[in-house]
Every structure is written in C-alpha cells, then in structure tokens.
Homo-oligomer: A and B are copies of this chain.
Amino acid sequence: MSQALDGLRVLDLSRVLAGPYTTMVLADLGADVVKIELPGTGDDARAFPPHVDGESVYFMSLNRNKRSMALDLKNPSGHELFLELVQQADVLVENFRPGAMARLGLAYEDLAPVNPRLIYAALSGFGQTGPYSSRPAYDSVLQAMGGIMSITGPEGGPSTRVGTSIADITAGLFGTIGILAALAKRHETGVGQMVDVAMLDCQVAILENAIARYAATGVAPGPIGNRHPSVFPFEPFDTADGQIMVAAGNDALWARLCAVIDCQDLADDPRFATNPLRHENYDAMRAALAEAFPKRTTAEWQRLLDEAGIPNGPINSVADVVNDPQVQSREMIQTVDHPTAGETLLPGIPIKLGTTPGAIRRPAPMLGEHTAEIVAEWLGCSPERLARWRDQGAFGA
C-alpha cells in the first residue's frame, strides 16, 4: 500500500534520541531513511542497556524502518560518497553539537550548493545561535533548564524529572514538523532550507499557558502533585484497591459526580457550586471526595463513572498499557521480529492516516547492514566502484 512519505529520501546522521525520533516518525510514514553510522561502533545508543542477544532495546525501539550504512565521513572517499548521497537526498537530519558538521565540511552552507533542494534539519540542545549554542546537553539538563521540572512533582515538594525523555522527544516532533513544513514550501519554490530546532526552545513551547499565567500573576508556578492548576476536581483518589483519576471538568460533571458517589449534600453545598468556588474551597472538596472513593474498587468506580459520562481512568503501569484493550485495538503495541534479538514489543504509529497508513516494515538495522544496497539504489553504482570505495576506507578500516 502507498504511504504518505513514499519516495522521500532522508539522510540520517543523528544519534541516540532526538534526531532518531524525528527520522523514526518520517520512516513510519513511508520515508526512505538511511542511517549513516560510524564504522565499528555506530549510533551510541547501540551500547545502551538493556540488551537482548547483544542488541540494545533502546536502539531497536527508535530505529525500526531505517536502513544502516557504515560510513567514515573523515575518510576522503567516505566524504566524497556522502556528497553523492546528498545530491540524491530530500532531507538531512543531524543532532551533533553546533559546529561539528562545519568541521566535517558538511554545514548547511557547504551542502546547499551541492543540492539546493536539500532540507537540512539540525537538532541540538540549545540551537545553532545564542550564548549557550556550543554547550553540551542531554535530556535531563534541558528538562531542568526548560522549566518543566519546576512544575512537576509532589505539591511543595522537589522538582521532578518527567519519566520519559520528553526534551528529546518534543524536539524530535517539532523537528519533524519543521521538515514537513519546509517540504510544503519546497513544492512551491523548488528550494530547500535549514531547520534549526533546539531542545530548550521546545521545552519553552510546551510550557504554553504556564508562561502566560506567570506573566499575568507574577508568580512562578511550582509543582502541584497530581491535581490540575485551574480545574477542580481533576486528580486521582485512593480507592479500595488502588487509585482512579477523575476529571470533572465543569459544573455539570461535578453535579453528576456527586450523584455517582451518592453525596447529594456535596452537590447542594454552595461552597462547591462553581469551579472558582471549588478552587477557593479546594481542601474541603478534596477531603469530602477522598472519604467517598475508598468505598469501592477502581474497577467498580470506572463502571459507575463511565455510565455517568464522567472522564476517569486508572493509573496504568507500562504492563497495564501493553495489555490495554484500547491500546491493542489501535495497534499501538506491535511485535517486531529482529534477526538476532527475536521478537520485541515496540510502540505502534500514533498517526492514523485513512488512505496511506504508516507501517512497521522492518526491524532496526544491524550496523552497516544496507551499505551495498543503498549505494546501488541511490547512486546506481557498479560493484567495481563500491569495491574501490571499500578499499579506500570509505566504510571503515
């Protein structure tokens, strides 16, 4: 079946997470992603634990649907071969520290003359400009500096890291959007451009209304545990056997919630009649609800709240998520067979396109697995020329 990004050729120099997440999303939607890896070691993430039969599950989860070519960009023949690939590429993605690509002679300014149609996406911690541009950075540093940690965590308690690498992943998503927007423009102009995405900028962008709230009130928000900053009740409660998240986002839902928990007195209580009043009398509201929920199990409450149309759900572990009927029905957990590691579970594709759906077509590649195939396909080059490049050290010593 045809896919949305069929025929889009992506040269992927990126490692670890932010860049590989971008190229994973592109590959999932049909792009032909060629992962250029350092001969010998490859993407750093190949070394990240845990491993199954020598293969990193971290690496495997991010690099499905890609092909791998081992190429030494510091070797003159490797460099020459790379420039030939650039001529055939639509998109280049890299996440080196700013300046590294220029030292290889592969900055956007070097490559645009080689292929004016090239869209060049550079993902980095702090961006290609500004006083921190050349600083090294990893996800946790950007989560700390970008403000999200300062609003995550127990109320009044320590700032808390988001448990997934959200700074890398959001940069990967904004990077993907930047590439596709540049592609839309290229359909009109025929010319590519540079896409500069900084993880720090993306952290600021996902703070969204926290910035406007700070500007309006002059107070920097802190961690508030599991409740919502401005809607009440919108938080988990302890049940007889666990917890349940309840989101009664407006006054009608509040009235229905009071009926479900069999507390007509709460529904009639003028202290809780509106969302601003529930904010003002939050502690009393919380106490009343916290008394009601332990009377039934999470599953019983789910059924009753569902019947009343009140948004609710359990706090699922990763194991619960993998086994959830909705998650399974949406094919959001897929089993992929890897030639050495065997069957792995991977997240599915959350962008469901009606006529050109994405697909997991292949497992993550072995290092350099597709070198010969790509050179033949992209460059139409003879076995003799391939052998010469190999002899000259383009693919490693």
Contact with B along A1-20 (1 / 0, CB 8 A): 01011101000000000000
A173 contacts which of B50, B131, B170, B182 (Cβ < 8 Å)?
B170
Report whether B211 and A144 are in contact in the complex, using a CB–CB cutoff of 8 Å: no
Contact with B along A309-332 (1 / 0, CB 8 A): 111111111111110111101101
Report whether B201 and A330 are in contact in the complex, using a CB–CB cutoff of 8 Å: yes
Secondary structure at the A interface, as helix, strand, loop or mixed, is mixed
User: In the complex, A55→B216 CA distance in Å?
Assistant: 11
- Is A299 in contact with chain B by the CB < 8 A criterion? no
Chain A contributes a number of interface residues (CB within 8 A of B) equal to 153
- Is A378 in contact with chain B by the CB < 8 A criterion? no
Q: Which residues of B contact A304 (CB under 8 A)?
A: none
Report whether B210 and A164 are in contact in the complex, using a CB–CB cutoff of 8 Å: yes
Report whether A174 and B351 are in contact in the complex, using a CB–CB cutoff of 8 Å: yes
Q: Which residues of B contact A322 (CB under 8 A)?
A: 211, 214-215
Q: Which residues of B contact A318 (CB under 8 A)?
A: 147, 150-151, 207, 210-211, 214, 220-221
Contact with B along A134-151 (1 / 0, CB 8 A): 011111111111111111
Contact with B along A255-296 (1 / 0, CB 8 A): 000000000000000000000100100000000000000000
Q: Which chain B residue has the least Cβ–Cβ distance from A59?
A: B209
Report whether B351 and A138 are in contact in the complex, using a CB–CB cutoff of 8 Å: no
Report whether A149 and B198 are in contact in the complex, using a CB–CB cutoff of 8 Å: no
User: In the complex, A132→B311 CA distance in Å?
Assistant: 11
Contact with B along A141-174 (1 / 0, CB 8 A): 1111111111111100111111111100110011
Report whether A212 and B58 are in contact in the complex, using a CB–CB cutoff of 8 Å: yes
User: In the complex, A330→B142 CA distance in Å?
Assistant: 15
- Is A92 in contact with chain B by the CB < 8 A criterion? no
A316 contacts which of B147, B321, B353 (Cβ < 8 Å)?
B147
Within 8 A of B (CB), among A67-84: none
Q: Which residues of B contact A382 (CB under 8 A)?
A: none
Q: Which of A222-230, A369-377, A385-393 contacts B (4 or more CB under 8 A)?
A: A222-230
User: In the complex, A320→B144 CA distance in Å?
Assistant: 11
Q: Which of A32-40, A98-106, A342-350 contacts B (4 or more CB under 8 A)?
A: A342-350
- For this complex, 10 residue pairs linking A to B, each with C-beta atoms less than 8 Å apart, are A5-B181, A6-B185, A130-B326, A141-B245, A163-B224, A169-B170, A195-B353, A202-B350, A204-B347, A214-B345
Beyond contacts A161-B226, A200-B332: 11 other A-B pairs, Cβ-Cβ < 8 A, are: A6-B185, A135-B311, A140-B228, A145-B314, A154-B160, A173-B174, A181-B351, A191-B355, A202-B350, A207-B318, A220-B319
